[in-house]
Amino acid sequence: MKRLTVAIGTIILILGIIMAASTFIVVPENKTQAYQVPKSNIIVDRFGLIGPTYGVVDLTADWVDGLTFNAGDLLNIQVNVTSGKNINFYVDDGSTIYLSYPNTTSANTDWTVPRNSSYNFVFSSSSTVSAKDVHWKITKQWNETDYRGVSQNVPLFPFQVFYAGAITALSGLAIMIYGYGAPSFRINRIPSRSS
């Protein structure tokens, strides 16, 4: 009986140690992770001339006048003029001016479109003497969600299994100690009395 108790206690102790140790074993786990990919599309990339005889000239009339954008669209607007030949540049929707760069040779700005509407990109010069070269570019920018596989190490079992394993191991140890210290019982047969 003593050996059986010690053997059972040993098995329970080993099982508890294995359970507790298994929480420190990590295994790879593959997950899908979302991430943002920046995207852009050039809407306008033009070169034009503001002539001295025209005064205020809207270079966008043929290309962008009435170009429609949606609320929340992010645009990068770049304007470059021949050095020393300043112009006035502004963006409006026919009633409200949203961007204004007076007397400038360059502009590079990110602009979030405030509402669904058509917008005018207007370039003007007050000079009646010299022509001005204008290069302007509008790029629509946005982010798209893409997915990638990511490998990550995770525990084989949650940490709560460690506590269950520790309790099991202590129980097995207690049974073993009891088995070593338990008195040995031997059942002796009482001889029968013969008559």
Does the domain at 34-147 match CATH 2.60.120.380? Answer given as: yes
Please tell me the distance from the alpha carbon of residue 92 to that of residue 50, in angstroms, as a whole number: 19
Could you tell me the residue ranges of all domains in the chain? 2-25+156-181, 34-147
> pLDDT class for 89, splitting at 50, 70, 90?
confident
Which residues lie closer than 8 Å to 160 by C-beta, 6 or more apart? none
What 8-state DSSP symbol labels residue 128? S
Return the exposure string of 154-186: e unless at least 16 CB atoms fall within 10 Å of the residue's CB, then b.
eeebeeebbeebeebbeebbebbeebeeeeeee
Q: What pLDDT score does 56 carry?
A: 43
Sign of the dihedral defined by the CA atoms of residues 68, 74, 98, 53, in that order: negative
Q: Residue 178 above 90 pLDDT?
A: no
Q: Residue 77: which pLDDT band, with cuts at 50, 70 and 90?
A: very high
Average pLDDT over the chain, rounded to an integer: 81
Q: What is the pLDDT of residue 67?
A: 78
pLDDT of amino acid 191: 67
Give me the pLDDT at residue 49, please.
75
Pair 82, 167: CB distance under 8 Å: no
Whether the full predicted model's pTM is greater than 0.75, yes or no, is no
Higher pLDDT, 87 or 53: 87
Q: How confident is the model at residue 7 (pLDDT cuts 50, 70, 90)?
A: confident
Closest CA to 81 of 130, 128, 40, 120: 130
Q: What is the pLDDT of residues 140-165, one digit of tens each?
A: 999 999 999 988 888 888 888 888 88
Does residue 61 have a pLDDT over 60? no
Closest by CA to 154, choosing from 24, 32, 35, is 24
Residue with tokens 């005018």: 120
